[in-house]
Structure 1
Amino acid sequence: MLKEKVGISVLLVSYNHEKHIRQALDALFGQVFDGPIELVVADDKSTDSTLSIINEYEGLDSRFVFKYLDYSENLGITKNYKRGFKACSSEYVAVLEGDDYWVSPLKLQRQVDFLVAHWESDVCGVNYFVYEEDRAHFTPRVPASTTHRFITARDLIADNVIGNFSTCVYRRSSLARLPDELFDITSYDWITNIVLARTSLIGFLEEPMSVYRLHTAGVWTQTPHVEKLKTQLEILPAYDKLTDHVFHDDFEHLASRLRHVITASQIGHVAEAVSQPVLRAVPRLLNYMPPILIVVLKSFIPVAVKNFIVRVVNRSRSV
């Protein structure tokens, strides 16, 4: 008896991604996957040529069946994901955001194989590169290896190693269990995976197979670091409630860490603003001091203070 080929749904989430969508689609169509692929296109009313570029790929590969969701209304990212998940019909669901791309042709097959072999997992994520587009710089999220590990909900709360939806493959049955309340608030990959990890381990393949792109067109990329932390801090009570306070202590510990970092960052900005006039004034002050006075001061000032003054003067010359 011939073994039935396992199919997969790929949820393509796009919004004004004309600059990057070809790279995402080329990587998708280059996957070595021996099964039918349902491509669910969840475009959020792009105003550029994103959809017309996607149209060009229809008919290029017999494995693919295209399913377009209505794109006449801009729903926002959370609602767009809600309808996208519901539209997927295969046993396994991968996500590809239009400005990300995959770098291993075996990504989908390896993740599906993992889920077939590991019934304790409803989610399989992969290591990925963070690509800072303006610096042309790639950094692996964690050190690369050929092994795998399991991640719990508490692990994710402490550190979102999974990082973004484009790294994930899900069992469709698990996505169907996501509560509607999750989509009534600002929800991305982080809280989605935390909710799923409440009843399942997340498999994590440590070989980098995806790229998360940081670019100037991205709203989150443009958000100042402190504002990102504040946004994360503000949403934690809602996430705590959504998970029935099972992870309350973990969310509280994270909130404490975020508040500490935010305070330290704000103090640093204030200190920087105050120090700038001082830095500019130091060289001018030294120019007007009599040489003999500078010699006397040098003999009495501790070494640590001398070193600090030297650093201040050097910094002032670059201001």
Structure 2
Amino acid sequence: MNFEEFQNIYQHTLPEHFKNSVSSKPLVSICVQTFQHANYISTCLDSLLNQQVNFEYEILLGEDNSNDSTRDICITYAKKYPDKIRLFLHHNENKIRINNIPTGNFNALYNFFQARGKYIAFCEGDDYWTDKKKLQKQVDFLESNREYILTFHQYEVNLSKNLTENQEQKLDQQLSDIESRDLQCLIYQPLLSTVCFRKQFQELPYQLGEVINVDSFLLSVLGGFGKAKFINNINPSVYRKHKGGIWTSKERVQKLEIKTYTYKKLIEYHKQQKQKSTAKCLEKELKNIYRMLFMHFMKKTRIISALKLTHKI
């Protein structure tokens, strides 16, 4: 799917491009998607603007029509840093709904197509970086090691006080290099806000617009182009988990159902690419997800049956 096809399928209203003076040939494009992040977006943008590098970079800031003050904050930053920030103001008409769930997919994919850099980094509007030389270290490695498609590093989880116990579970982190096949099969999945990757392709699989787990799908696609390098001398980025987070707010069953759909689309993609062994690996994991869903519903059924029996007694 190229940009024109993307627009024909999903764009109903033209996003507003805020005036800027950003270099037309940046080495790195930083994609930032933000929605309802009034309490966080300033910290995010400051961490990106504070990067110390010897090359040009751009910040692609997609604001998804928040109803808090996020948009006003983004406009303030775009006016103050016109040489660094390209601000795109989006409209509700363009939001892609998946299984009747509104997503930020249009925002994220629009940023990708607008990116001019040789390399791409992501940072969600409620996350932030802590190492001022993060980009420099990642780009230096990629410039010298063509067999690697991406680099990544550690992160820390910042937990909101209003999360439940289940929502406070820490995510697994891979702290060593990842082989291409393991990345394709999603055996290991670096957090996207820690990743910097080569823009190896100009077009995107059309399935990317049809899944909620865009980060997982993208990592699997990137695995087809090379290995992933873990860089241990980069200070951890911060991943916020809060009630307002799109993924944090999803209940376990809904998350599993969303994952099943993502894996189905990934299997479809890899079969189209004639990558049968990768598709088979993903099919095996899909069965595991189905098994978890089955066990959950069996447990729920037993609890309901027990409650009915108790009520009769």
TM range (shorter): 0.7 to 0.9
1:128–1:140 CA contact under 8 A, matched in 2:
no
Name the aligned partner's letter for residue 68 of structure 1: L
1:56 is matched with 76
TM-superposed CA distance for 1:278, in Å, is: 8.1
Measure, in 2, the Cα distance between the counterparts of 1:210 and 1:40. 19
1:195 is matched with 221
Aligned length: 272
Measure, in 2, the Cα distance between the counterparts of 1:7 and 1:157. 29
The Cα offsets for residues 242-282 of structure 1, whole Å up to 9 and x where unpaired, read as 1125312111210121122222222233334445688999x
2:177 is matched with 149
Change (3 A) 1:209 1:124: same
Name the aligned partner's letter for residue 224 of structure 2: R
Identical residues among aligned pairs (%): 22
Q: Which runs of 5+ in 1 are unaligned?
A: 286-319
Higher gyration radius (CA): 1
1:257 is matched with 288
Measure, in 2, the Cα distance between the counterparts of 1:223 and 1:59. 35
Task: Kindly indicate whether residue 86 of structure 2 is the aligned counterpart of residue 67 of structure 1.
Answer: yes
| Structure 1 segments (4+ residues) deviating >6 Å | 135-138, 277-281
Measure, in 2, the Cα distance between the counterparts of 1:200 and 1:256. 27
The Cα offsets for residues 273-309 of structure 1, whole Å up to 9 and x where unpaired, read as 445688999xxx9xxxxxxxxxxxxxxxxxxxxxxxx
Decide which moves more: 17-26 or 50-59.
Answer: 50-59
Q: Normalising to structure 1: TM-score of the pair? A: 0.73
Name the aligned partner's letter for residue 189 of structure 2: V
TM-superposed CA distance for 1:61, in Å, is: 6.2
TM-superposed CA distance for 1:59, in Å, is: 6.5
Higher relative CO (Cα under 8 Å, sequence separation at least 6) belongs to 2
1:129–1:138 CA contact under 8 A, matched in 2:
no
The Cα offsets for residues 141-194 of structure 1, whole Å up to 9 and x where unpaired, read as 4376xxx5134243453434213x32221222x141433443355451111111
Task: Kindly indicate whether residue 202 of structure 2 is the aligned counterpart of residue 176 of structure 1.
Answer: yes
Change (3 A) 1:275 1:250: same
The 5 A counterparts of 1:307-318 are none
Measure, in 2, the Cα distance between the counterparts of 1:123 and 1:91. 12
Measure, in 1, the Cα distance between the counterparts of 2:310 and 2:138. 55
Of the candidates 258, 263, 267, which is equivalent to residue 298 of structure 2? 267
Task: Kindly indicate whether residue 189 of structure 2 is the aligned counterpart of residue 161 of structure 1.
Answer: yes
Which has more strand, going by share of residues?
A: 1
TM-superposed CA distance for 1:57, in Å, is: 2.9
The Cα offsets for residues 89-128 of structure 1, whole Å up to 9 and x where unpaired, read as 1222211110111122222122112211211122222222
1:40–1:66 CA contact under 8 A, matched in 2:
yes
2:20 is matched with none
Measure, in 2, the Cα distance between the counterparts of 1:231 and 1:254. 14
1:305 is matched with none
SS of alignment partner, residue 39 of structure 1: strand
